Amino acid sequence: MISLTVPVYNEREALGPLFEKVRAVMERNYSDNWEIIFVNDGSHDGSAEFLDSLAASCPRVKVVHFRRNFGQTAAMMAGFDFAQGETIIPLDGDGQNDPEDIPRMIAKLEEGYEVCSGWRKDRQDNALQRNLPSILANKLISAMSGVQLHDFGCSLKAYRAEVIKGVRLYGEMHRFLPIYAKWHGARITEIPVSHHARKTGHSKYGLERVLKVIMDLMTVRFLDRYMLKPMYLFGFWGFLSLVASLGFSVWAVYMRTRDTFSPIPRFP
Amino acid sequence: MMAVFAFMTGVICILMGLLAEMITRTFHESQNKAIYMVRDTRNLDGKTSAD
């Protein structure tokens, strides 16, 4: 079974068209062997009522309502926790991804890959504010993590359930999901996916992400390399500090005593 | 002097941040606690996130 998970936060207008498109694609390709899990992350624009009516009309629609807004990472986690399929595909709730790409991703999984990432090659967002930082961030993440992907930010990715089920995400770590999958020994590939301009609602991200991405990246790198041997990292800085202190001590003693041994008085 | 001091403070704060990340993970994973709370579900009767 294929599980689609959709984090929803105030996307009332986008949900209807998104669901119709998804249903068309999934029913054509997989008849009834699929489910879609909407995780309502504390929306307050009527998305909750709309999702309830969708769930009432179609048994394949599952809905999880959060008590309040917990953020996109928590919503994705909930989607993975409740998913029952052996293939899990997170989608954006804003309708910018195209469900037509799903069958191609699943074909990649059937070739033997465990993660297939979407790559929004032709991205339809504000160039300076969204795309440029994103390109830099992706280059940086690829270089630091050793997972070569062009687009970590694209939520449309396909995962085999076994590489994603045990993963626990905190903060805003959903961007680094392929890296977690890599630790589970996943083989990763990517395909270009189409991307539509946002029609309704507004983006919930801005430029302040850059620093957060850098900090998250340090965390991921730390967890990857030093989680089982934290002493190596802390000990390295400790020894560096000790050696520096030793050096400064010797220097200080030298400065204090050099006049004593000097044959010529320096300050007549 | 201040440069070295500020640099070391930065390094120590970042290392403390990494320790804190370990602690939050220990906190949540040791009691098998989710980072979200569910009010209600539809078409998921009787299933919990633990299934």
What ipTM describes this predicted complex? 0.78
Residue A99 confidence (pLDDT) above 70: yes
pLDDT tens, A168-199?
Answer: 888 878 888 888 888 888 889 888 888 877 76
Q: In terms of domains, do A121 and A211 share one? A: yes
| Substitution target from B36, B37, B41, B49 for chain A, most A beta carbons within 10 A | B36
- Closest-CA residue of B relative to A244 is B4
Predicted confidence (pLDDT) per residue in A112-126, tens digit: 889 998 888 777 766
Residues A70 and A147 in one domain: yes
> Range of A253's domain?
231-268
Residues A93 and A185 in one domain: yes
CA–CA separation, A167 and A114 (whole Å): 14
A249 and A152 together in one domain: no
Does A185 share its domain with A245? Answer: no
3-class SS letters over A91-141: CCCCCCECHHHHHHHHHHHHCCCCEEEEEECCCCCCHHHHHHHHHHHHHHH
Q: Where are the beta strands (DSSP E) in chain A?
A: 2-8, 34-40, 61-66, 87-90, 115-120, 157-160, 188-193
Phi, psi of A121 (to 5 degrees): -65, -40
* CB-count exposure of residue A265 (10 Å: 0-12, 13-18, 19+): exposed
Asked whether residue A116 falls in the same domain as residue A243, the answer is no
Q: Name the more confident of A203 and B49.
A: A203
Task: Return d(Cα A223, Cα A226) in angstroms, integer.
Answer: 6
List the single range of A11-15, A123-127, A178-182, B4-8 with lowest mean pLDDT: A123-127
pLDDT confidence of residue A239: 94
Residue A114 and residue A193 in one domain = yes
Reduced to 3 states (helix: H, G, I; strand: E, B; else coil), residue A200 is coil
pLDDT at A132 over 80: no
Residue B47 above 70 pLDDT? no
Given an 8 Å threshold on Cβ–Cβ distance, is B15 in contact with A73?
no
- Cβ A62–B8 below 8 Å, yes or no? no
A218 and A235 fall within a common domain = no
What part of A 21-50 touches B (C-beta under 8 Å)? 37
Separation between Cα atoms, residue A228 and residue A26, nearest integer Å: 42
Write the CATH number for A40: 3.90.550.10
CB-CB neighbors (< 8 A) of B43 in chain A: 55, 59-63
Q: Do B18 and A61 touch (CB under 8 A)?
A: no
State how far the Cα of A5 lies from the Cα of A36, in Å rounded to an integer: 6
Window A:117-136, CB contacts with B under 8 Å = none
Give the minimum alpha-carbon distance from A121 to chain B in angstroms, rounded to a whole number: 33
Lowest mean pLDDT among A23-27, A192-196, A261-265: A261-265
User: How far off is chain B from A238, nearest CA to CA, in Å?
Assistant: 10
pLDDT at A95 (0 to 100):
76
For chain B, say whether A78 makes contact (Cβ under 8 Å).
yes
List all residues 6 or more positions away from A176 whose beta carbon is below 8 Å from its beta carbon: A141, A145, A152, A216, A217, A220
Q: What are phi and psi of A264, to 5 degrees?
A: -105, 125
Check: CB of residue A6 under 8 Å from CB of residue A90.
yes
A221, A238: one domain: no
The amino acid occupying position B30 is S
By C-alpha distance, the chain B residue nearest A71 is B36
**Same-domain check for residues A138 and A37:** yes
Counted domains in chain A: 2
Q: In the predicted model, is pLDDT for residue A26 greater than 80? A: yes
Q: How far apart are CA A43 and CA A39, in angstroms?
A: 10
Cα distance between residue A148 and residue A153, in whole Å? 13
| Separation CA A219–CA A173 (nearest Å) | 10
Give A151: exposed, middle or buried? Use CB within 10 Å, 0-12, 13-18, 19+. Answer: buried
Q: Are A49 and A98 contained in the same domain?
A: yes
**CA A6 vs CA A37, A41, A202, B26: distances in Å:** 6, 10, 17, 28
**Angle subtended at Cα A153 by Cα A148 and Cα A177, rounded to the nearest 5 degrees:** 65
Answer left, alpha or beta for residue B43, where phi above 0 means left and psi between -120 and 50 means alpha. left
Residue A19 pLDDT exceeds 70: yes
Cα A218–Cα A158–Cα A8 angle in degrees, nearest 5: 80
A 154-193: CB under 8 A from B: 168-170
The pairing of strands A157-160 and A115-120 is antiparallel
Q: Phi first, then psi: what are they for A150, rounded to 5°? A: -90, -20
**Same domain flag for A215 and A98:** yes
Q: Give the rounded percent of residues in chain A with a pLDDT score beyond 90.
A: 21
Amino acid B51: pLDDT: 45
Phi-psi category of A255—alpha, beta or left, where left has phi over 0 and alpha has psi -120 to 50? alpha
